[in-house]
Amino acid sequence: MINFQASMLTWENKIYHRDSYYKYDGGFVGSPGDIYHVRFNTQSSCVVRDPTNGADTEIFLGSPCRAEYTIAYTNLFQVPSNEFRMAFSRQNEIKISNQPSSAKENLPLNSLSKKGVEYSFDKRLYGEYEKLDQVREVIQATLAGDFLNAESTYNDSKSGLSVTLQFPVNLINLNDLGNEFQVCTGPILVPDLSSWNGSDISRSFLAHVALSSFDHVEFILRREVDVSDAEKSLIESPKGLDRNELVDPMNEPEGYPPKRWQATTYNEVWELESENVFYRSANPK
């Protein structure tokens, strides 16, 4: 049973050098020579298994923040605002798509070692926990205030791969008298199995998950959406510092200006046969 709150990715950024084009590259407002550290805990895990070669790749979803200017004293939030969130395996950053799953994207893997001079990931488990696979056990653990993780495993007939997702049960509904439960929680990470290269995936989706039995699971995926003309100023007009501001307005990089962040919604639903279990760890009083 993974302790997601205590499982953390940490990296030390490379020495900061000013970008050749952008005045606030990546939102950083420091001075050349600065070095800064980043640490965030995880929110879910995903294991992709390939029975043909025994490959077993574990991927984690990191906790988010709003896009910020780092490290500033005022004007901390970037507007237009984006959600920074990172998914990663032991070696690579995994891209999170904002497109429908049917859209084709070429999202190459990025090595974690290229993001910083040093990085480390500390996966921690609860000291004592037990597996639950009966409705009454789940209800009793919930009413007792215990820590709960859910784990959902499904198989993909097209690729032959299996996927196991584990995530904390942040929200659960109960019908105690009727002996029923329903988990509705997130966000979690689901993989695009078409991007599997034999040892890793390069594309994933942010989703929320719902389940009310031990053999069925549903995911609803996030995607970008167009906003009305009346709302476009919220997406296109910066307030305070402009992340796209150039050092030299007469020296534009290729592809300038980059696309501004877009609004998102959740609307693509996957309904899958699955094997679901719970893990319980006592919550000390």
- Per-residue model confidence as pLDDT tens digits over 242-276: 999 999 999 999 999 998 888 899 999 999 999 99
Residue 53 counted as domain residue: yes
For residue 195, report the phi and psi dihedrals to the nearest 5 degrees. -95, 5
Residue 2 counted as domain residue: no
Is residue 285 scored above 80 in pLDDT? no
pLDDT, position 116: 63
| pLDDT confidence bin for 16, thresholds 50/70/90 | confident
Residue 77 counted as domain residue: yes
Residue 3 counted as domain residue: no
Worst-scoring range by mean pLDDT, 136-150, 174-188, 256-270? 256-270
- For residue 59, the enclosing domain spans 8-97+105-281
| Closest to 26 measured CA to CA, from 91, 78, 74, 99 | 78
Residue 5 structure tokens: 């709150």
Residue 1 counted as domain residue: no
- Per-residue model confidence as pLDDT tens digits over 66-104: 999 998 899 999 998 889 999 999 889 999 999 999 999
Is residue 30 scored above 90 in pLDDT? no
Neighbours of 209 (CB within 10 A): 23
- Per-residue model confidence as pLDDT tens digits over 212-241: 999 999 999 999 998 888 888 888 888 889
Residue 68 counted as domain residue: yes
Kindly state the greatest CA–CA separation across the chain. 70
Q: How many domains does the chain have?
A: 1
pLDDT, position 117: 59
Residue 156 counted as domain residue: yes
The one-letter amino acid code at 214 reads: F
Residue 31 counted as domain residue: yes
Q: How far is CA 121 from CA 22, 42, 59, 152, in A?
A: 31, 10, 12, 23
